[in-house]
């Protein structure tokens, strides 16, 4: 049985430090026996949620843009990696718009009481969050982590583990910190392994 994970990259830089961290985690996930599809979120042509609320009555979004295919992809995934820098103390805009568009899942689950995720999938799904930030101040990741917890609840893919690294303005290049790359690999492997075990036993 195949285990498939989606990795959402929230950084505009496809070769930046967030991407480096994400790739190490993906290496771990793949070595644990899962497949991975990367979605570079800032590259998608998607609108923010426009509060049309068609999703109140039906499990679809009224905005017909590139987002449509991701509803099925996220619904069918066995797990998620979210890899993102902190921007203005929170989630970067493109990724936040992507997340807000899952109001479709929110309405299904909380308004109509019918989660779009099957009960079997709900036992399997987990999210790993990888995030970096330039500064070194208190509560740098709290907004982002709160948003990811909410996103995980909405899509029935709870945030189960995270790797959060501040002080990137000093570190500059993540490749100079092999211990962080090792940690990302280990967390990716653990995610893949847990999902494979939950799905296949």
Ligand X SMILES: Cc1cc2nc3c(=O)[nH]c(=O)nc-3n(C[C@H](O)[C@H](O)[C@H](O)COP(=O)(O)O)c2cc1C
Rule CB under 6 A: which residues touch ligand X?
Answer: 11, 13, 16-18, 85-89, 132-135, 140, 168
Nearer to ligand X, 154 or 168 (CB): 168
Report in angstroms how near the CB of residue 84 gets to ligand X at its nearest.
8
Cα distances (angstroms) measured from residue 140 to each of 10, 91, 126, 150: 17, 11, 23, 18
CB of 107 closer than 8 Å to CB of 175: no
Cα distances (angstroms) measured from residue 9 to each of 39, 65, 110, 201: 6, 19, 27, 29
Report in angstroms how near the CB of residue 12 gets to ligand X at its nearest.
7
Nearer to ligand X, 55 or 83 (CB): 83
DSSP letter at 14 equals T
Nearest residue (beta carbon) to ligand X:
16
Nearer to ligand X, 103 or 147 (CB): 147
Report in angstroms how near the CB of residue 56 gets to ligand X at its nearest.
33
Nearer to ligand X, 24 or 156 (CB): 24
Nearer to ligand X, 59 or 93 (CB): 93
CB of 161 closer than 8 Å to CB of 128: yes
Report in angstroms how near the CB of residue 91 gets to ligand X at its nearest.
11
Q: Give the whole-angstrom CA distance, residue 59 versus residue 104.
A: 6
Report in angstroms how near the CB of residue 8 gets to ligand X at its nearest.
13
Q: Give the whole-angstrom CA distance, residue 61 versus residue 156.
A: 18
């Amino acid at each position: 049985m195949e285990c498939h994970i989606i990795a959402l990259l929230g950084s505009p830089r496809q070769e930046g430090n967030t991407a480096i961290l994400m790739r190490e985690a993906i290496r771990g996930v793949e070595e644990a026996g899962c497949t991975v599809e990367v979605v570079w979120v800032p590259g998608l042509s998607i609108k923010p949620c426009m509060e049309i609320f068609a999703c109140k009555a039906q499990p679809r979004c009224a905005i017909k843009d590139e987002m449509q295919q991701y509803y099925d992809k996220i619904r069918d995934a066995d797990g998620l990696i979210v890899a993102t820098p902190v921007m203005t103390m929170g989630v970067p805009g493109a990724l936040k718009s992507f997340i807000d568009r899952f109001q479709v899942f929110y309405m299904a689950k909380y308004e109509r009481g019918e989660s779009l995720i099957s009960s079997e999938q709900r036992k399997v799904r987990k999210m790993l969050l990888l995030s970096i930030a330039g500064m070194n101040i208190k509560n740098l990741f709290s907004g982002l982590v709160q948003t990811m917890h909410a996103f995980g609840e909405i899509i029935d893919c709870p945030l189960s583990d995270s790797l959060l690294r501040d002080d990137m303005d000093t570190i500059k290049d993540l490749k100079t910190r092999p211990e962080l790359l090792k940690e990302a690999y280990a967390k990716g492997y653990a995610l893949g392994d847990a999902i494979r075990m939950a799905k296949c036993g």
